[in-house]
Amino acid sequence: MTADRLLEWKTALLTKYAPASVAGFVRVAKMVFDWAVDQDWLTRNPMKKISTGSFVNRDKDRIISMDEYAKLLDACPNQEWRTIIALARIGGLRCSSELQQLRWSNVNWAENRILVHSPKTEHHERHRERNVPLFPELRAELERHFSLDETQGNEFVIEHYQKTCWNLNAPFQAIARRAGLGKVVRPFDNMRMSRSNEVLARWGQAKESV
């Protein structure tokens, strides 16, 4: 098997599958060839110089506009879900890793900031945590949430899901349907991306907010 033939195989796959899926196939193939080299069945991996490609499927990117954000809030069953959506769409927090770890002690009301711990990037020394501004739309939802009787004494901002599965996709899709948005693919990634684009357009690259 030559590198040229394997490149033809990858090219053929791209005519049938999304780039993210092809990247998965190529990664597995590289692992198999590496194993074959380790077993002395091959002298070299013919896929070594063939790029894996991106695992991000851009066909699923979707902007969640501020009008749609307002509709999502109106369709939420409770304040906790309004807070979840505000943290994702306005704060740009990752779900579930950053939402799950967010504590009320991380909310600095006086300085109008939230300290966000980032498990996804914690292996990079300078990216273990970041400060997110308490944008007015986000602060409004957090204040409503914090003032609720059932929230008093809670350690975590999103308390309900601490003792259960953090698969928020199904309840979000129910909210999206009530809001008239239909099915939203990768909703939390797309809410974060939507906010990143807004922040970049308004304040530039050097902000810490997302």
pLDDT tens digits for range 125-147: 555 789 999 999 999 999 999 99
Chain-centroid distance, C-alpha 161: 17
Rounded CA-CA distance 175/95 in Å is 16
Lowest mean pLDDT among 59-63, 80-84, 104-108, 149-153: 59-63
pLDDT at 85: 97
In 10 A of CB 146, how many CB atoms? 16
Q: What is the CATH number of domain 62-203?
A: 1.10.443.10
Residue 9: predicted pLDDT = 81
What is the rounded distance in angstroms from the CA atom of residue 194 to the CA atom of residue 19?
22
Q: Domain residues of the chain, as ranges?
A: 3-59, 62-203
* Amino acid identity at 145: H
pLDDT band for 204, please (50, 70, 90 cuts): low
Burial class (CB in 10 A: 0-12, 13-18, 19+), 210: buried
pLDDT at 60: 66
Residue 179 CA to residue 100 CA, distance in Å, equals 25
Write the DSSP assignment of 24-79 as a string of letters: HHHHHHHHHHHHHHHTTS-SS-TTTTS----S--GGG-----HHHHHHHHHH-SSH
Q: What is the pLDDT of residues 12-48, one digit of tens each?
A: 876 777 666 777 888 888 888 888 889 888 888 888 7
Strands annotated E in the chain: 107-108, 113-117, 129-133
Query: How many angstroms separate the CA atoms of 84 and 99, rounded?
Result: 8
The values of phi and psi at residue 94, to 5°, are -80, 140
Condensed to tens digits (0 to 9), the pLDDT of residues 51-87 reads: 776 655 565 678 899 999 999 999 999 999 999 999 9
